[in-house]
Homo-oligomer: A and B are copies of this chain.
């Protein structure tokens, strides 16, 4: 790469900054109404404010920054993609899905409120994401806004995240091979991480043909992210994770760790991160944060 390694401080600062900005954006965009809808918005706020690593908004804003995008616009788009991520977690945690009681170290939405409110809060956050992207405040250019909607809609629908979640449901008791697990994870987690980078580039007016290397970067870190998730699920600490672990093994689901073994899985994740950074070789220091994020993905402990 020929560039000096980025200090961890850059990433730590980036994560801290984006967390505060995203919280602020949600607080401003989701005022609690003074009527019977209050409970719904309170559940939405409970799910999106003050929790999560904000990896998707960070990826989006870091990519946007490379292309000189206005920070306010990047944060709004970051809030939109984080809304989609949050709605998918709320629905994933429901008793009929993964039946989880803990998320980000606090009770899941259906535990803190009730199941019906959790279903609705997820649905409302889903619509909210597209409302935010369609608002002229994000860009005066309607083409930029509709491209953001397209990227996020495609990444979260049946051809992306929701499709991956379905494959994951079916995975229980099935003997999926490495290729199928890779495909499943590319859809379930990778599609939205890829959309984060894509959306940053769309805000930066980068034409589709100029985003190929960014797609390569996103695909590699997406897969590395999931392999590390499997490793953390296998050997991580429940308290640091803020959620229940070792559920895949209990459910008899194949993972990268069950298929490759922990050591080869870790090697694979490192290789992917190296490859992801290689995709950024045409960029100088302006891509340092994306490089740091790639490294953070394999080094994180939760």
Contact = CB atoms under 8 A, between A and B. Distances in A.
A183 interface: yes
A97 interface: yes
Given A36-B184, A142-B142, A153 B130 contact: yes
A224 to B, nearest CB: 23
As for how many copies of this chain the complex holds, the number is: 2
Interface of A is mostly: helix
Interface in A21-58: 30, 33, 35-37, 39-41, 44
Nearest to A162: B124
A169 B127 contact: no
Contact of A37 (B122, B130, B166): B166
A156 interface: yes
A278 interface: no
Given A36-B184, A39-B166, 17 more contacts: A33-B163, A35-B183, A36-B167, A36-B170, A36-B180, A37-B158, A40-B162, A88-B123, A94-B96, A96-B115, A128-B157, A128-B158, A131-B154, A134-B149, A142-B142, A142-B146, A142-B147
Interface of A: 30, 33, 35-37, 39-41, 44, 87-88, 91, 94, 96-97, 114-117, 119-120, 122-124, 126-128, 130-131, 133-135, 142-143, 145-147, 149-150, 152-154, 156-158, 160, 162-163, 165-167, 169-171, 174, 180, 183-184, 187
